[in-house]
């Protein structure tokens, strides 16, 4: 993974000093609440229900063992010994003290980490596929350009105060796993007819209260122009995006207001001036950064491993885990492993300091000292030998990291919700926990098969509820907490936004509502259909009829 040189290190060190002084001025009353707000937000610091919340950047989801050990130590020293991995591949601390943030940043800087632009109206952490570099269906490893873009966007002077936050995702696989169509800018890397790396660029996607899939602004962009083209897009947005109403300030609203054709022509007119400017990425810069993402020194291994096959045959618990948690790898004899942060009955995405140390050790011992965070809020060891998998499983299992539910109903994506977030209409974590307990039967979960259930505590959609096969949204009705349910959303190449099934439910009803949706699916499915397929084929009607028939049935 990318390692800092002097220039990178100097920048984060200077950032610590800058933020320390900003905090000092705020505490001394030299900065008003309103003036400090964007400064702390651009450093990932929210003021929440109980305490500030600090979001630490994990660029495109990659971490080293050393960094994860440090995060575990920081969580222990400055917080309550746990952290929350987010849907944008970052780590959040829920209970740090405002006065101690500069010290936390100083500690982060010692392991080449920071909290720069993890929030606020600026270009945020760039996200990508958690299997970048190892996935067999990968056409282009997007990480080197993601790093080049990270550097370009860090303290970008022109884009320091945009109308609203700005999120970029990159992907280089046939099957999109980075949800590029749901971002302000999405970049899909591919090889063009000349076999050169090119980019298909999407713009104006986003969730929140106005969920919109992105539009293609350019089918073919040579990689060298990634920065200047983004500059043109963000400049048009910076100048013309709405600033009078924060709910209408995202680029998606501007793209929609102008129409993609008019928006494109403004961007192209701007880009005509920027193309080939000094920010054009050079071959040598790409090569320098790409060196950090070269393939690991893999051993030459056969495609099968006898000890692994034997363990699968003799140990059903291991076999169950393997079935859900292992992912194909480019290199023979290796697998990528997902460690579940979704044990039933616990807040999805949370990891204790102790667990972080365990995962860091596992990565050190079995996966070249690196790991990744997925937007589904799990942790990934990307390069494990078949022969090591049993040992990994045993240690993960002993530490609550091996729930065999990856991709299943209880692998819930969930925002912090009303327990932590002051914008929430409703709590989301207890709903996730209750659903996990309702379906606490592995055989049954496996029978239900692949399904994505996403929960957000309000329409800001941090939990991606629109693109859940089942989506749950917290709503406020006369001051009490209710939940609206949608089905048929999905991520990936055929991304779609779910349809609401009807009036909302109370918290107590939620596990049985989900149960009923599953019952309809089980009854109606053809042998090869997953929940999403059945939901798409039948539409909302049969699900709705059964769920709302409740009163007559129980009466």
Partner 1 sequence: MSQLIKLNDNVAHIAENQWAVVQLPPSLVEARKQAGKVVLFKLTGEKTVSEEQLSGTIIPESGKVIVPLSVFIARKAQLQARINAGEIGVWVDTHEVLNDLAEHQADLNQLPIIAIHVERFADGRIFSLGLLLRTRYGFKNELRAIGDVLRDQLFFLKRSGFDSYLIRADRNAQEAMLSLKDFSAPYQGAVDEPRPAFLRYNRVA
Binding site for partner 1 (CB under 8 A): 5, 7, 10-11, 14-15, 18, 22, 35, 38-39, 121, 151-163, 227, 235, 238-244, 248, 253-254, 257-258, 273, 277-279, 282, 284-285, 287-289, 291-292
Strands 168-171, 127-128: pairing is parallel
Of 73-81, 104-112, 228-236, 414-422, the window that binds ligand SF4 (rule: CB under 6 A) is: 414-422
| Residue 53 interacts with, from ligand HEM, ligand SF4, partner 1, none (CB under 5-8 Å by kind) | ligand HEM
**How far is the first Cα of the chain from the last one, in angstroms, to the nearest whole number?**
60
CB of 4 to partner 1, least distance (A): 11
Q: Number of residues interacting with ligand SF4: please give it, by CB under 6 A.
A: 13
For the stretch 197-217, what's the b/e string if a residue is b when 16 or more beta carbons lie within 10 angstroms of its beta carbon? bbbbbbbbbbbbeebbbbbeb
CB of 153 to partner 1, least distance (A): 8
At what angle are helices 541-548 and 531-538 packed, to 10 degrees? 100
Give the span between the Cα atoms of 262 and 358, in whole angstroms.
Answer: 52
CB of 87 to partner 1, least distance (A): 26
With beta carbons less than 8 A apart as the criterion, state whether 311 and 318 touch. Answer: yes
Q: Which CB sits closer to ligand HEM, 360 or 415?
A: 415
Of 249-257, 319-327, 402-410, 412-420, the window that binds ligand SF4 (rule: CB under 6 A) is: 412-420
Give the span between the Cα atoms of 376 and 86, in whole angstroms.
Answer: 8
Q: Which CB sits closer to partner 1, 156 or 327?
A: 156
Classified as helix, coil or strand, 328 is coil
CB of 258 to partner 1, least distance (A): 6
CB of 273 to ligand SF4, least distance (A): 38
DSSP secondary structure string for all residues of 334-390? EEEEEEPS--TTS-TTEEEHHHHHHHHHHHHHHSTTEEEE-TTS-EEEEEEEGGGHH
Q: Which CB sits closer to ligand SF4, 87 or 228?
A: 87
Contacts of 24 (CB under 8 A, 6+ apart): none
Of 80-88, 92-100, 411-419, 532-540, the window that binds ligand SF4 (rule: CB under 6 A) is: 411-419
Please select the residue that binds ligand SF4; options are 424, 514, 520, 535, rule is CB under 6 A: 424
Nearest to 429 by CA among 377, 504, 466: 377
At what angle are helices 306-314 and 316-325 packed, to 10 degrees? 120
With beta carbons less than 8 A apart as the criterion, state whether 473 and 459 touch. Answer: yes
Query: What backbone phi and psi angles, to 5 degrees, belong to 39?
Result: -70, -45
Please select the residue that binds ligand SF4; options are 57, 462, 501, 535, rule is CB under 6 A: 462
With beta carbons less than 8 A apart as the criterion, state whether 314 and 380 touch. Answer: no
Q: Which CB sits closer to ligand HEM, 70 or 250?
A: 250
Of 227-235, 306-314, 358-366, 421-429, the window that binds ligand SF4 (rule: CB under 6 A) is: 421-429
Q: Which CB sits closer to partner 1, 294 or 476?
A: 294
Contacts of 279 (CB under 8 A, 6+ apart): 152, 227, 228, 231
Please select the residue that binds ligand SF4; options are 415, 448, 510, 535, rule is CB under 6 A: 415
At what angle are helices 510-524 and 429-438 packed, to 10 degrees? 50
CB of 211 to ligand HEM, least distance (A): 8
Burial of 9 (0-12, 13-18, 19+ CB in 10 A): middle
CB of 247 to ligand HEM, least distance (A): 7
CB of 412 to ligand SF4, least distance (A): 13
Q: Which CB sits closer to ligand SF4, 68 or 415?
A: 415
Residues forming the site for ligand HEM (CB under 6 A): 46, 48, 53, 86-88, 92, 164, 167, 182, 206-208, 250, 415-416, 420-421, 423, 460-462, 464
CB of 371 to partner 1, least distance (A): 22
Q: Which residue has the tokens 């495109």?
A: 60
Strand order in the sheet with 499-500: 413-414, 453-456, 470-477, 480-487, 499-500
CB of 428 to ligand SF4, least distance (A): 6
| Residue 458 interacts with, from ligand HEM, ligand SF4, partner 1, none (CB under 5-8 Å by kind) | ligand SF4
Nearest to 124 by CA among 88, 157, 85: 88
CB of 546 to ligand HEM, least distance (A): 31
Write out the H or E segment, with its range, that includes residue 476: strand 470-477
| Residue 446 interacts with, from ligand SF4, ligand HEM, partner 1, none (CB under 5-8 Å by kind) | none
Classified as helix, coil or strand, 221 is strand
| Residue 238 interacts with, from ligand HEM, ligand SF4, partner 1, none (CB under 5-8 Å by kind) | partner 1
Does the CA dihedral 72-73-74-80 come out positive or negative?
positive
| Residue 410 interacts with, from partner 1, ligand HEM, ligand SF4, none (CB under 5-8 Å by kind) | none
Of 13-21, 257-265, 461-469, 510-518, the window that binds ligand SF4 (rule: CB under 6 A) is: 461-469
Give the span between the Cα atoms of 467 and 211, in whole angstroms.
Answer: 9
| Residue 117 interacts with, from partner 1, ligand HEM, ligand SF4, none (CB under 5-8 Å by kind) | none
Residues that bind ligand SF4 (CB under 6 A): 415-417, 421, 423-424, 456-458, 460-463
């Amino acid at each position: 993974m990318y390692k800092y040189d002097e220039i990178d290190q100097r920048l984060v060190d200077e950032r610590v000093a800058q933020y320390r002084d900003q905090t000092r001025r705020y505490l001394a009353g030299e900065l008003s609440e309103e003036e400090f707000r964007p400064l702390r937000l651009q450093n990932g610091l929210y003021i929440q229900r109980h305490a500030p919340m600090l979001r630490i950047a994990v660029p495109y989801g990659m971490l080293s063992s050393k960094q994860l050990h440090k995060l575990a130590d920081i969580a222990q020293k400055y917080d309550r010994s746990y952290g929350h991995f987010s849907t944008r591949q970052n780590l959040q601390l829920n209970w740090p003290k405002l006065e101690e943030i500069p010290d936390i940043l100083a500690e982060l800087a010692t392991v080449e980490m920071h909290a720069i632009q993890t929030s606020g109206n600026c270009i945020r952490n760039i996200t990508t596929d958690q299997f970048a570099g190892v996935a067999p269906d990968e056409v282009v490893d997007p990480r080197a350009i993601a790093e080049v873009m990270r550097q370009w966007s860090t303290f970008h002077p022109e884009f320091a105060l945009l109308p609203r936050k700005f999120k970029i995702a990159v992907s280089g696989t046939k099957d999109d796993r980075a949800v590029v169509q749901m971002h302000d800018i999405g970049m899909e890397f591919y090889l063009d007819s000349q076999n050169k790396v090119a980019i298909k660029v999407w713009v104006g996607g986003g969730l929140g209260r106005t969920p919109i899939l992105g539009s293609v602004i350019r089918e073919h962009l040579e990689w060298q122009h990634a920065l200047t083209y983004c500059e043109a897009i963000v400049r048009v947005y910076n100048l013309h995006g709405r600033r009078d109403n924060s709910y209408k300030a995202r680029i998606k609203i501007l793209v929609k207001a102008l129409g993609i054709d008019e928006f494109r022509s403004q961007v192209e007119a701007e880009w005509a001036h920027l193309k080939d400017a000094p920010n054009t990425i050079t071959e040598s810069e790409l090569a320098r950064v790409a060196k950090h993402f070269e393939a690991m020194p893999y051993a030459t291994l056969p495609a099968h491993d006898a000890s692994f096959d034997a363990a699968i045959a003799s140990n059903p618990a291991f076999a169950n885990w393997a079935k859900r948690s292992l992912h194909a790898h480019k290199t023979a004899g290796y697998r990528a492993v997902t460690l579940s942060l979704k044990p039933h009955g616990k807040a999805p995405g949370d990891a204790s300091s102790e667990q972080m140390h365990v995962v860091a050790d596992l990565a050190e011992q079995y996966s070249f000292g690196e790991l990744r965070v997925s937007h589904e809020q799990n942790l990934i060891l990307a390069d494990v030998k078949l022969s090591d998998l049993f040992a990994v499983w045993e240690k993960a299992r002993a530490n609550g990291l091996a729930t065999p539910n990856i991709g299943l109903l209880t692998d819930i994506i969930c925002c912090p919700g009303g327990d932590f977030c002051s914008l929430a209409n409703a709590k989301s974590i207890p709903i996730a926990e209750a659903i996990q307990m309702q379906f606490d039967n592995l055989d049954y979960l496996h029978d239900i098969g692949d399904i994505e259930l996403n929960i957000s505590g309000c329409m800001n959609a941090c939990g991606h509820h629109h693109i859940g096969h089942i989506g749950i949204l917290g709503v406020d009705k006369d001051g009490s907490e209710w939940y609206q349910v949608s089905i048929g959303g999905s991520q990936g190449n055929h991304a779609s936004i779910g349809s609401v099934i009807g009036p909302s439910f109370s918290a107590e009803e939620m596990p049985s509502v989900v149960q009923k949706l599953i019952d309809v699916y089980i009854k109606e499915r053809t042998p090869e259909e997953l929940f999403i397929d059945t939901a798409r084929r039948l539409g909302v009607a049969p699900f709705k009829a059964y769920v709302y028939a409740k009163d007559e049935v129980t009466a």
